Amino acid sequence: MKNLFIVVLFTMASVSVNAQDKIGEICKWDFDKKCAVALTFDDWLTTHPTIVVPALQERGMTATFYVITKDLNQNTITQINTAAELGNEIGNHTVTHPSSDVTIAEEARPAKERLDAALVSQQVLTFDYPYGAFSNETIDSVRKLGHIAARGVWPPSSYSYNFAPNDDDYYNLRTIGVGAANGANGLTTTAQFASYLTKAIKGGGFITYLYHGVGKSSDYANIHKDSLYAQLDTLKSLDDKIWITTVADAIKYHREARCASFSGIEIGNVNPDIYIIGLVDTLPDDIYNQPLTVKVYNNGNTFCEIRQGDEICPILYQTNEYVMFRAIPDGGNISLKRGYWDINSVQDINDIATISVNNKTIFVTTDTHATVVFYTLTGKILSKRTGTCSFSVAKSGSYIVTVNGLPKTIVIN
Ligand SMILES: [Zn+2]
C-alpha cells in the first residue's frame, strides 16, 4: 500500500467566483447520460399487468402504458394504479381506439378526464394516436388538453438531441415497432433491438419502442415473454449510458433543459462556506417538476452537502471543475456547502484497506501496476486510478480519491 496514503483534503482557497462567472451547465439528460429511452406498451393488453409490469419492476425499470378508456373497469383501474405507483406512466390512447384523426381528436378529452379521475397518484401527460392517425388539428386538440407530447407509429427519422425544433415535433414522437405484425419496421430479435440503442447513444437523442402483445400468441404483434426479458436485460446492461424512463419524464426533462438557466449567485455573504444559487425555467411548475442534472463549477473547491430548500440533493459526481447533482427548476434556492467529513476508520491489512464511513464499508486495494482500485462490498469496481493516490471521505457518503493532485468524488452505492 505504499502508493496510498490518507490525507485530509481541506483546501479552503479563497472564493473567487463572482456573478459574472458562468455558474454551471445543465446536462442534456438526467444523470448526464448520453440518451433517453422509453418503452411504450399499447392498449393495456391482459399480459401487460401480469408479465410486463413485474418484469420491469424486477429490473428496477419503468415504462409508459397507453390505455383505451372503454376497457376501464374496477379490475383494470386497480391494475393501472398499481403500475403507476411503481413509477410507470399511464397515458391516453382515446376512448374507443378510432382510426380517424377527427374522432381521435374528439375522444382525447373524455379519455383524459376518465383516466385522470381513475388515477390516484398521477396526471395524464402524454397521448398515443390510435393507428398513428393525426393531423395539425389533432395536435392542437391534444396540446390544449394539457398533454405535453404524443407518440405516433412512424419510425425515427433522427437520433439527435434536437429532435424537436418546433413544439409540434413533441406531438409527433417517433417509435420503433416491436413484433412482426408491425410490418417492415417491427423488430423481432434482441440484436435488432440493441442496434437502435447504439444509434440513440451515438445520436444523443430520445427514442421510444412500441410494444403490443407480450407472451400471448393471439395478441397483435406478439413477442415471446423471453424476448421481452432479453430486451429489458439488454437495455438494463447499458444504463450507464442510457436514461431509461417514461415518455412524460423524458419530455419534461427535454423541455425544461432547453429553457432552464441558473439565476443569481450569492457566495459567502452569510457563511463563507455556503454558496447559494437558483435554477429557473419558463414552464408551469405544476407540470414541469422534473429534476434536472446540473454541473456547478466549483473553482477548485469541494462541496460536502447540497440542498434545495430542505431537501438534500445527493452529490452524483465531483471533480476539481464541477459538482454534479439534481435539482428542480423553480424548486427553491440551492445551497452548496464546502467541506469534508472525517473517515470513521481505516484498516490496512495485506495491501487491502478497509474504510468505514456512514456505516458503509468499502475496500481499496492496489495492483502490481500501482493502479488503485476501489470496490464496494459487493465487489463492484467503483474506480480505477493510476498515479499518486490519496483519499478522504466526504460528508454526503461519498469519498474523494485524489490522483496526481486532482480530487474526484464517487458516491458509494
Ligand atoms: Zn393501440
- Give the pLDDT score at 268: 61
**For 44-96, what is each residue's pLDDT tens digit?**
999 999 999 999 999 999 999 999 999 999 999 999 999 999 999 999 999 99
| Distance between Cα 66 and ligand 1 center (Å) | 8
Domain boundaries, the chain: 34-239, 262-338, 341-411
Task: Render pLDDT for 180-214 as a digit per residue (tens, 0 to 9).
Answer: 875 555 788 999 999 999 999 999 999 999 999 99
Residue 300 banded pLDDT, cuts 50, 70, 90: low
Q: 360 pLDDT exceeds 80?
A: no
| Pairwise CA distance, residues 151 & 346, whole Å | 54
Helix ranges (DSSP H) in 167-279: 190-203, 225-237, 247-259
Please tell me the CATH superfamily of domain 34-239, with its number.
Glycoside hydrolase/deacetylase (3.20.20.370)
What pLDDT digit, counting tens, does each position of 2-36 carry? 333 332 222 222 333 334 358 999 999 999 999 99
Question: Which three three-digit cell numbers place residue 317?
Answer: 459526481
Provide the mean pLDDT of the chain. Answer: 81
By the 8 A CB rule, do 255 and 283 touch? yes
- pLDDT at residue 339, rounded to an integer: 63
Count of C-beta atoms within a 10 Å radius of residue 384: 11
Angle between helices 101-118 and 136-144 (to 10 degrees): 20
Ligand 1 centroid vs 111 CA: distance in angstroms? Answer: 14
Q: How far is the CA of 73 from the centre of ligand 1 (A)?
A: 18
- Residue range 205-228, pLDDT digits in tens: 999 999 999 999 999 999 999 999
Tens of pLDDT, residue by residue over 94-140, are 999 999 999 999 999 999 999 999 999 999 999 999 999 999 999 99
Task: Tell me the residue ranges of DSSP E strands in 345-411.
Answer: 345-349, 352-357, 360-366, 371-375, 381-386, 389-393, 398-403, 406-411
Query: pTM of the full predicted structure?
Result: 0.80
Query: In sequence order, what are the beta bridge partners of 211?
Result: 41
DSSP reduced 3-state for 79: helix
CA 310 – ligand 1 centroid, Å: 43
- How far apart are the C-alpha atoms of 107 and 97, rounded to whole Å? 9
Asked if 127 and 142 touch (Cβ cutoff 8 Å), the reply is yes
- Say how many Å lie between the CA of residue 58 and the centre of ligand 1: 26
Distance 205 CA to ligand 1 centre (A): 25
pLDDT value of position 267: 64
What is d(CA 273, CA 322) in angstroms, rounded to the nearest whole number? 16
- The answer to whether 160 and 206 have CB atoms below 8 angstroms apart is no
Q: Which of 262, 253, 263, 324 has its CA nearest to residue 295? A: 324
**Interval between CA 231 and ligand 1 midpoint (Å):** 21
The Å distance, Cα 210 to ligand 1 centre, comes to 10
- For residue 318, the CA-to-ligand 1 centroid distance in Å is 45
161 vs 391, more confident: 161
CA–centroid distance, residue 97 to ligand 1 (Å): 6
Residue 136 to residue 147: CA distance in whole angstroms: 15
